[in-house]
Amino acid sequence: MTKAESTQTALEQTQAVIEVRDLKISFGDQPVLNGLNLDLYEGENLVVLGKSGSGKSVLIKCIVQLLQADSGSIKVFGKEMNNIGKKDLEELRKDIGFLFQSGALYDSMTVRQNLEFPLRRIRKELDEKQIEAKVQEVLANVGLPDTADKMPSQLSGGMKKRIGLARTIIVDPKILLYDEPTTGLDPITSDEISQLMNAVKKQYKTSSIIITHDIACVKTVADRIIMINDGILFKEGTYHDFTTSKDPFISSYFN
Amino acid sequence: MKEFFEDVASVTLFVWRTFREALSPKFEFREFFYQCYQVGNKSLPLIAVTGFIMGLVLTIQSRPVLLQFGAETMLPNMVATSLIREMGPVITALICAGKIGSGMGAELGSMKVSEQIDAMEISSVNPMRYLIVTRVFAAILMLPLLVLFADALGILGCWLGLNIKGDINFVLFFSQAFGRLEFMDFLPAVVKSFFFGGVIGFVGCYKGFHAGRGTESVGIAANSAVVMASLLVIVVDVIAVQITDMLI
């Protein structure tokens, strides 16, 4: 058994935290996902690859119910998302962090207020001292300890992504969904973000789905990779499987 | 026609959801007071200048006509009545439709485009409750206060207008202006100001919240919020005047 195969087997022996089955969604007459299946196992970083418009971002938005699928099943921690009640959805979302492509920081709030915003609502048991300690902890973890009183407009693109990540991890989610975390960043900052994603996985013991086109990022963070084409799962494997594939579509993607 | 009915259904649902969320026990008081500050305090200078000029100009323009009938002493009461019953509420509402309505449309539209509203939803925060309810109710509460402020400054403008070509002390002016005013001159104006606030808040928030995904849609949301809110202010005014006319 190769190293890649043993990694795959080990992952499949752990529990699936997200199970997607036969997921279909279309916008008007345009089908985007056409019966997609995937599993996210506990503690893994699953990278989702595919051409622009192939439905990668749509997939993770369906998982958190920002978009409703036409048919199929999405189970998060065993709970079916497609017919979940409003209160159950709010509860479940507390365990899911979502890093948006732009960071999606609230423009009218300082970095501190951005970080406190989800914390005060999700972790209501914390007092002011604990909230401040948590803010300082996540800022230190993303390497930006002195930015608490800055406005988002005063931050660079890379800093916004780091603060976005800090806001995501501050509530200790069990699942992280990254929507193109390194897009628009220079190679050095991209690598820093990729390393940070690995550090977050290690420290917070998260399971993650990472949508990206950045092959360097894929190499750094991926435990397992799936590729979507024509709205269905095209290939699944490790980084090694993809880089050694003879399939013209995959090799053109990786070269 | 189908689109029209879809829009009507969408607006109705939006208004219904806003009231439903407003009655939720988790009312966002802090954000509500912040929005009151934004709507009220930041509109104050514009409303003050407009209100004052409104009273001054109305006085200067009306004076020669009333002089012809020897009815100059009626001028303070005429201006005060016009301001309180009609001009104050409508002009203030139109200015607020421009300032507050466009501000809400642009702010919420840009939050939508930059996925901030989605981020809020994922943080288990209800965007309707946090963003819409607070803004709509801030507009409903603050508009009547802004109208009263505009009325007061308009009446002050009237007194200044009378003193440009004449001489009238403030006590006499005050008694002439308010001597014949009744409670029913104030009440319909205050009541319709609440509705104007509601129209501006709902339209601004609806347009911003339902903005498209591109940056162009932010401009469209702001622009259509001003146009629609201004038009609806006039429509609500016509209805309010008819109702007042029937009741008095």
Strand order of the sheet with strand A30-41? A30-41, A16-27, A71-76, A79-80
Q: Tell me: pLDDT of B248 over 80.
A: no
For range B70-88, the mean pLDDT: 90
**Residue-level pLDDT at A6:** 58
Residue listed under structure tokens 């003050």 = B48
Å between B42 CA and nearest CA of chain A: 16
Is residue A96 classed as helix, strand or coil in its secondary structure?
A: strand
Task: Please determine, for residue B156, whether its predicted confidence score (pLDDT) is greater than 70.
Answer: yes
CA–CA distance from B208 to each of A121, A153, B110, B197 (Å)? 24, 21, 8, 16
Segments of chain A with pLDDT less than 50: none
Question: Cβ–Cβ contacts within 10 Å for residue B186, how many?
Answer: 14
Reduced to 3 states (helix: H, G, I; strand: E, B; else coil), residue B133 is helix
Residue B161 has a pLDDT of: 92
Mean pLDDT of B149-161: 94
Residue A19: in which H helix or E strand, if any? strand A16-27
Which helix (H) or strand (E) is A45 found in, with range?
strand A45-50
CA distance B12 to B226: 19
pLDDT of residue B71: 82
Query: Considering only CB atoms, which chain B residues are within 8 Å of A105?
Result: 116
Identify the residue among B34, B110, B114 best suited for mutation to test binding to A, counting A beta carbons within 10 A and taking the highest: B114
Q: Is the pLDDT of residue B39 over 80?
A: yes
pLDDT in tens, B176-218: 888 888 888 889 999 999 999 999 999 999 999 999 878 888 9
Give the gap in angstroms from C-alpha A110 to the nearest C-alpha of chain B.
14
Instruction: Take residue A150 and report the two structure tokens written for it.
Output: 């800055």
- Name the pTM for this structure: 0.85
Of A224, A151, A218, nearest in space to A191 by CA: A218
CB contact under 8 A, A94 and B124: yes
Question: Which among B110, B111, B123 is the nearest to A117, CB-wise?
Answer: B123
Q: What does the pLDDT read at residue A11?
A: 55
Select from A121, A160, A163, A169 the residue whose CB has the most chain B CBs within 10 Å, as the one to mutate to test that interface: A121
Interface of A with B in 164-223 (CB under 8 A): 171
Cross-chain CB nearest to B125 (options A66, A107, A121) = A121
Predicted confidence (pLDDT) per residue in A123-149, tens digit: 888 889 999 999 999 898 888 888 999
Tokens of A153: 């407009």
Q: Do A121 and B124 touch (CB under 8 A)?
A: yes
Report CB contact under 8 Å: A107, B125: no
A114 → chain B, closest CA residue? B120
What Cα–Cα distance (Å) separates residue B36 from each residue in A101, B94, B198?
32, 18, 13
Are B213 and A67 in contact, with CB atoms under 8 Å apart? no
* pLDDT above 90 for B70: no
Residues A120, A133: Cα–Cα separation, whole Å: 13
Q: In the predicted model, is pLDDT for residue B241 greater than 60?
A: yes
Instruction: Answer yes or no: do A98 and B119 touch at CB < 8 A.
Output: yes
Q: Two tokens at A199? A: 């550090």
**Closest approach of A223 to chain B, Cα-based (Å):** 26
Pick from B107, B115, B125: CB nearest A104 = B115
In terms of Cα–Cα distance, which of A209, A215, A238, A210 is closest to A225?
A238
Q: How many CB pairs under 8 A join A and B?
A: 49
What residue spans define the domains of chain A?
3-95+174-254, 107-172
Minimal Cα distance from A104: which residue of B?
B116
Question: Cα–Cα distance between A128 and B107 in angstroms, integer?
Answer: 29
With residue A157 as reference, give the H or E element that holds it. helix A157-169
pLDDT digit string, tens, across residues B80-132 = 999 999 999 999 999 999 999 999 999 999 999 999 999 999 888 889 999 99
Q: Output the CA torsion sign for B92, B98, B99, B104.
A: positive
Q: Name the residue type at position A3.
A: K
How far apart are alpha carbons A103 and A98 in whole angstroms?
9
- A3-95+174-254 has CATH 3.40.50.300 classification: yes
pLDDT tens digits, A201-238: 888 889 999 999 889 899 999 999 999 988 888 889 98
- Predicted local distance difference test score (pLDDT) of residue A13: 58
Q: Are B229 and B94 in contact (CB under 8 A)?
A: no
CB of A27 within 8 Å of a chain B CB? The answer is no
**Within its chain, how far is the Cα of B185 from the centroid?**
18
What mean pLDDT is reported for chain B?
91
A15 in Cβ contact with A42 (< 8 Å) = yes
Number of other residues whose CB lies within 10 A of the CB of residue A2: 10
- List of chain B residues whose C-beta atoms are within 8 Å of the C-beta of residue A118: 123-125
Predicted complex ipTM:
0.85
Of B54, B35, B24, B40, the residue nearest B150 (C-alpha):
B54
Structure confidence at residue A200 (pLDDT): 86
DSSP state of A244: T
Interface residue A101 vs chain B (CB under 8 A): yes
Contacts of A101 in chain B (CB under 8 A): 115
- Tell whether the model's pLDDT for residue B65 goes beyond 80: yes
